[in-house]
Amino acid sequence: MSKSIMITGGAGFIGSHVVRLFVNKYPHYNIVNLDALTYAGNLENLKDIENRENYTFVKADICKAEEIENVFREHNITDVIHLAAESHVDRSIADPMAFIMTNVVGTVNLLNAARKAWAGEYDQHRFYHVSTDEVYGSLHDGGFFVETTPYDPQSPYSASKASSDHFVRAYANTYGMQTVISNCSNNYGPNHFPEKLIPLCIYNIRHNKPLPIYGKGENVRDWLYVVDHARAIDVVFHNGATGETYNIGGFNEWKNIDIVRLLCKVMDRKLGRPEGESEKLITFVKDRAGHDLRYAIDASKIMNELGWQPSLQFEEGIEKTVDWYLANEEWLQNVTSGNYQDYYSEQYEKR
Ligand code: NAD
Ligand code: DAU
């Protein structure tokens, strides 16, 4: 049987790379990109594949149960890869309720719709939930997050993601749904919304604006190129064992301040500025409330059991990322001006 896969959040940063990979690699699958097009959803990310026969975009909100049930019915959805979420920690500190709505209530709505649509034949369908390493909390004394590390979320964002993970496992246990979860570290690469550290700094260096470093810049994150995450999602979706969790990461830890210095160096070279020029923009600002000190993923399980590994070294990935942003200034301008939000009506409503 060919699949009809609902990919939620497919207009966002990671989701758009997953949609592209699946549309290109699996022409016999029907790919339904379901996205509410919040501020983070941008259909310009998918211009290159939007007219493919095996691709459909549906504007819908996972918080609205009826809308979701209709999509399951109309598109005969066989599987779900769920990425739609509110994803920015700083926004979750300012407005936790939006995170509880989309990340918790939205995920439960999706599970309910899948449960209804697949009743009596759960063994033929897969619900794949894409989660984050932040559910494990903050590392202070060395070590790595493994799949059995107890959950200890510290921000409203990570608490909402942890909650959604628990619901997915509860639906597998209670109703026998076939689920799989992955928890990934920080992604970077093309189409990253410029509220997150790396694209924000690229944009600000380009425009000679201050580079805001929270606290002393000593916090550590493990970074993975977004296309490598999409490749991992492909592998877990097809070969991951039902009921299992897979950690995904790059074995690539960096202090924030070192990343920003690297970006300054690379951008000085590419923009023809004297070396050290952009570093003058570094500005230490008030720390994020409850700022997690360090995340570090042990990705041995997915590497050993499913044969996945990252394809890029960080320095190479940063070069590619900076090149992409410099070559796509219009994308960045549209995002920072808000014009990207007109794209949906131009592309889909005025036709
Ligand atoms: P993003 O913020 O770039 O994109 C989120 C997408 O979800 C957007 O297209 C948005 O329009 C859509 N969306 C939001 N609310 C919705 C709703 N109610 N109904 C339908 N669509 C809605 O996020 P991202 O960085 O691409 O992250 C995608 C997923 O991966 C999230 O679940 C996130 O928790 C997880 N994740 C992200 C990272 C990372 O570094 N960015 C790392 C690990 C895991
Ligand atoms: O670990 C996975 C998570 O990575 C994902 O689940 C989240 O969706 C994703 O947003 C990301 O969360 P972070 O909070 O780690 O990413 P962010 O880019 O917001 O911040 C990275 C680090 O940089 C963090 O320590 C905070 C710091 N920072 C961030 C911004 C936006 C700054 O110092 N200055 C800034 O302006």
Tell me which of 6, 17, 87 to substitute to probe ligand 1's pocket, judged by most ligand atoms within 8 Å of the beta carbon: 87
Residues in the chain: 351
What backbone phi and psi angles, to 5 degrees, belong to 96? -60, -30
Give yes or no: 133 in active site.
yes
Q: Going by CA atoms, what residue is nearest to atom 35 of ligand 1?
A: 131
pLDDT band at 337 (very low <50, low <70, confident <90, very high): confident
What distance in angstroms lies between residue 119's CA and the mean position of ligand 2's atoms? 39
Distance from the first to the final alpha carbon of the chain: 33
For the record, the structure tokens of 164 come out as 């959604």
Q: Are 109 and 177 in contact (CB under 8 A)?
A: no
For the record, the structure tokens of 69 come out as 């049930």
pLDDT band at 191 (very low <50, low <70, confident <90, very high): very high
| pLDDT reported for residue 350 | 65
Task: Convert the pLDDT of each residue in 32-43 to its tens digit.
Answer: 999 999 999 999
Whether pLDDT at 25 is above 90: yes
For the record, the structure tokens of 85 come out as 């979420």
Whether pLDDT at 345 is above 90: no
pLDDT band at 76 (very low <50, low <70, confident <90, very high): very high
| pLDDT reported for residue 83 | 99
For the record, the structure tokens of 148 come out as 């059995």
Q: Are 129 and 165 in contact (CB under 8 A)?
A: yes
Q: Is 31 helix (H, G, I), strand (E, B) or coil?
A: strand
Give me the residue label for tokens 């042990």.
298
Give the residues surrounding ligand 2 with Cβ less than 6 Å away. 87-89, 132-134, 185-186, 196-197, 200, 212-214, 219, 221, 256, 288, 295
What distance in angstroms lies between residue 43's CA and the mean position of ligand 1's atoms? 14
Q: Going by CA atoms, what residue is nearest to atom 20 of ligand 2?
A: 197
pLDDT band at 343 (very low <50, low <70, confident <90, very high): confident
d(CA 78, CA 118): 8
What distance in angstroms lies between residue 55's CA and the mean position of ligand 1's atoms? 19
Give which of 188, 214, 184 is closest to 293, Cα–Cα.
214
Task: Convert the pLDDT of each residue in 230-240 to its tens digit.
Answer: 999 999 999 99
Give yes or no: 287 in active site.
no
For the record, the structure tokens of 123 come out as 């063994």
d(CA 295, CA 146): 11
Reported as type and span, the H/E element at residue 326 is helix 314-327
d(CA 342, CA 334): 9
Number of H-type helices and E-type strands within the chain: 13, 12
Contacts of 199 (CB under 8 A, 6+ apart): 188, 192, 193, 325, 332
Task: Convert the pLDDT of each residue in 246-302 to its tens digit.
Answer: 999 999 999 999 999 999 999 999 999 999 999 999 999 999 999 999 999 999 999
% of the chain residues with pLDDT over 70: 98
Taking CA atoms, 335 is separated from 43, 128, 197, 267, in Å, by 11, 29, 16, 20
Q: Is 78 helix (H, G, I), strand (E, B) or coil?
A: coil
pTM of model > 0.95: yes
Q: Going by CA atoms, what residue is nearest to atom 7 of ligand 2?
A: 87
**Which residue is catalytic, options 35, 79, 86, 134?**
134
Full set of structural domains in the chain with CATH: 3-192+223-254+294-316 (3.40.50.720)
What distance in angstroms lies between residue 11's CA and the mean position of ligand 2's atoms? 20
Tell me which of 155, 196, 281 to substitute to probe ligand 2's pocket, judged by most ligand atoms within 8 Å of the beta carbon: 196
Q: Where are the beta strands (DSSP E) in the chain?
A: 4-8, 30-35, 55-59, 79-82, 126-132, 179-184, 186-188, 211-214, 220-225, 245-248, 253-255, 282-285
Give yes or no: 298 in active site.
no
